[in-house]
Structure formats: structure tokens, C-alpha cells
Amino acid sequence: MHPLFLVPELLIIVFRKLKRLDQVHCTLVCKLWSEIALDILWNRALALELLANLLAPVKRTSSSIRMIPNIYSFGALLDEHAWSRFHSMYSSRVRTLCHFSPFSDSDLSDFSSIFQEIEATRPVSLPILPELRVLEWRSDPVTFQSSIFMHDKIKKFITVAIDESQNLEDVKISHLRSLSRAISTRMPFLTFLEVELYPRQEYVASLVVLLNNLSNLTHFGTSAFDDISPILSCSGASRLQSLKLFAFVFDKATRKSGGPFPEGNYPARLGNLAVCVVKYSAITPFFQHHDLVYLKTINIKTFHVEKPVSVRLFFHILSRSCPALAFVYVAFCNDDYWLRDDEVSPPAPNEEIVTFDDMKTMLNCKNIADFLSSITTLPA
């Protein structure tokens, strides 16, 4: 073999560009190639059944009946030898684990047998994936199948909270509290956390407790609750550098942000903020009462067709409180499915169109590099 093909740095670059099947073939060439190819193959585990297959053969039992899930199970019992082989050859290679289960009746999967066997037989002295850094889990309800992979080296966790019947709107408070405890206890050094759940206001208290318990957190994402002031004013939020409050369902958005908040009890060090609001006035008070001198990127979506006076007020306050802004994205969600007649303004008459003059105060932000404002009342 030419010495060029024994340079690890070069092999890493080449192998990363290969298709998965070709990467598998590389594991058969020699020990050096095998180690590098296996590191690349299992750096990101995106299919739970493939990862489980490294422990023992996994079989799938399918059903032609709608609403009956495909059942995954081990074809052999897990023993000490299986775990020893898994930990010596594979477990330390995985840095990212993603588990997705479609929320559709046509493609349901049941991994409960896999999880039960793993939980019952795994060595308790060592995490299943000891070098795991990113855990993304969008599948089971808040019964914590994901918790068997949690440990204190994980830095990034993304999950969705649903109930046992796949219902988005009816997660029990007790389950959400248990999820919060599991996250803060098993992954105390998280720096990135996103919890997607239906924006019932009573869920906010559990999220605030979670925020306050994660002292290293720099990014937090969750749903755009009706009143986000408890999140903005908690002590945990003061450490955040990035905050994302997204529309988890099509007809819910923030109506109240609150303020003024005491010094040290709001996210003054934010560099990135994204939020979905019913209208500008829902978030304007937060900017009005607080200086966000580190904020560089803002992304705001609104359901409301704003009038010029509201646009002028919003951008005037934004330019004054956020002088370091470089990227500004303000969009109107004009999909008819999102609109409700009792809450969304009708299109403005021609004499109430928004012009550049209503937004020109943003020129006071000297670092602006990208500005996008999709407002339906702009003149043609």
C-alpha cells in the first residue's frame, strides 16, 4: 500500500466523503483503516435499530394492520460477552445519538423490548455510550426511555414531550417534573437544551426550575407560551446567550413578555433571540425596559398585520435597546392556517401602508449586515 494511504489525517478527510456502504468496506482493509472508518461510521448514530444491532441481532416484526407498530426486539439474549464486545469496539465512538419516531399511524415503531433488555442487562458501572455529547430524542412520551443514555458528559439535549397516547396537549405535570429532574440530575453540565411541548401555561413552572438547575446552560429553546415573563425573569435565564421560543403548534404564540425585571434576573447577555408572538406589542415591553447590548441576532415572527404606528414604535425601541444588532429578521406568518379572525388584523387600507420611514431608526444600529422584514402592508 502506498504510504500516502497510511496518513490518518488524509484518510479521515477521504472517508468522510464516502457513502456509508463504502465506509463499511474500508473497515475490512487493515486495522488503521478499520479504526478510522468505524470512528466515522458511528460518530453519529441516527438509527436506533442499527446501534442496537451492534449488541445482538435485531429482528423486526411488521404488521399490515393500521395503528399496529413495527416491533423491534433482540434475536438473542444480551450477555456479558455482548456488552464487553460493544464497549471495547463501538460504544466510545458514538458522539451523537438521534432517535426519531414519526408521529403518523403508517410508520409507528415499538422499541420497548429493546429498551427493557438493555436496561436489564447493561453494566451499571459504565454509561452505555460514555463519550456521547449530543442526545436528540423525538419519539417516546415522557416515560424516559431516553434516560438510559443520559450521563454527565452530555452537552446538548433536544426532546419533545408528549403523553402516552401520542397526545401533544395533555402531558401530565408530574411527568414533566420527572423529565426535568432526570435532565438536571443526569446531565447537569448541559450547555444546550431544547424541550418541545404544547404551550400550556402551567408547564412553565417546571421549565423555570429546570433552567435554574442548569448552571452551564447557554442556549435554551422551548415553545412560545402565552406569557413568557417567568422564563425571561428567572435567574437561570440570566446566563443564557441564546433563547428560542418557537411556535410548537400553528395557533399559539406569545402574548406577554413582562418587565421591567430586576438587574441579574433577565437574559442581559443574550446574543441570539428568536420568538413567535401574536403581535409586536407582546414583546415590545421586554425591549423597552431592558438593555440588550450583546444581542446580535433577532428573529421575530408575528401573526398580526401591524399598522405603521406599531412598526415605528417597535423598531425605535429595538434600535435603542439593542445597539449591537447585526442580523434582524422580522416576518409575518401569512399562512391562512395560522390566522384567526378575532385576533388578527385585516389588511390595512392604502393610507396605512408601512414605509421605509417606519423602520429607518434601525440605521442607528451601525453593525447591521442583514435586515429582512416581510410585512404585508409594505407598498407594492
Strands 192-196 and 134-138: unpaired
Task: Tell me: pLDDT of 102 over 90.
Answer: no
Task: Tell me: pLDDT of 262 over 50.
Answer: yes
User: Confidence band (pLDDT; 50, 70, 90) for 380?
Assistant: very low
Task: Tell me: pLDDT of 297 over 80.
Answer: yes
pLDDT value, residue 228: 93
Residue with cell string 412598526: 311
pLDDT value, residue 105: 46
Residue with cell string 447493561: 122
- 8 A C-beta contact, residue 34 and residue 26: yes
Q: How many CB atoms lie within 10 A of CB 46?
A: 12
User: Confidence band (pLDDT; 50, 70, 90) for 144?
Assistant: low
pLDDT value, residue 347: 54
The pLDDT tens digits for 319-350 are 999 999 999 998 876 554 444 445 555 555 55
First to last CA, the chain: 66
Task: Tell me: pLDDT of 220 over 90.
Answer: yes
pLDDT value, residue 305: 76
| Residues contacting residue 312 through CB under 8 Å, at least 6 positions apart | 358, 359, 361
More confident residue, 227 or 252: 227
DSSP 231: H
The pLDDT tens digits for 176-212 are 888 899 999 999 999 999 998 888 999 999 999 999 9
**Measuring CA to CA, which residue among 353, 352, 292 is closest to residue 319?**
292
More confident residue, 143 or 231: 231
- Mean pLDDT, rounded, of the chain: 84
Helix (H) or strand (E) holding 205: helix 204-213
The pLDDT tens digits for 6-36 are 888 888 899 899 998 998 998 888 989 899 9
Cα distances (Å, whole numbers) of residue 161 to 139, 219, 330, 354:
9, 18, 28, 40
Task: Tell me: pLDDT of 165 over 60.
Answer: no
pLDDT, mean of residues 205-229: 94
- 8 A C-beta contact, residue 231 and residue 206: no
pLDDT value, residue 164: 53
pLDDT, mean of residues 65-72: 73
Cα distances (Å, whole numbers) of residue 302 to 306, 332, 348:
9, 5, 16
Residues 246 and 300: their CA atoms lie apart, in Å, by: 10
Which grid coordinates belong to 329?
429578521
User: Confidence band (pLDDT; 50, 70, 90) for 310?
Assistant: confident
DSSP 146: G
| Residues contacting residue 116 through CB under 8 Å, at least 6 positions apart | none
- 8 A C-beta contact, residue 199 and residue 248: yes
The whole model's pTM is what?
0.86
User: Confidence band (pLDDT; 50, 70, 90) for 106?
Assistant: very low
- 8 A C-beta contact, residue 328 and residue 370: yes
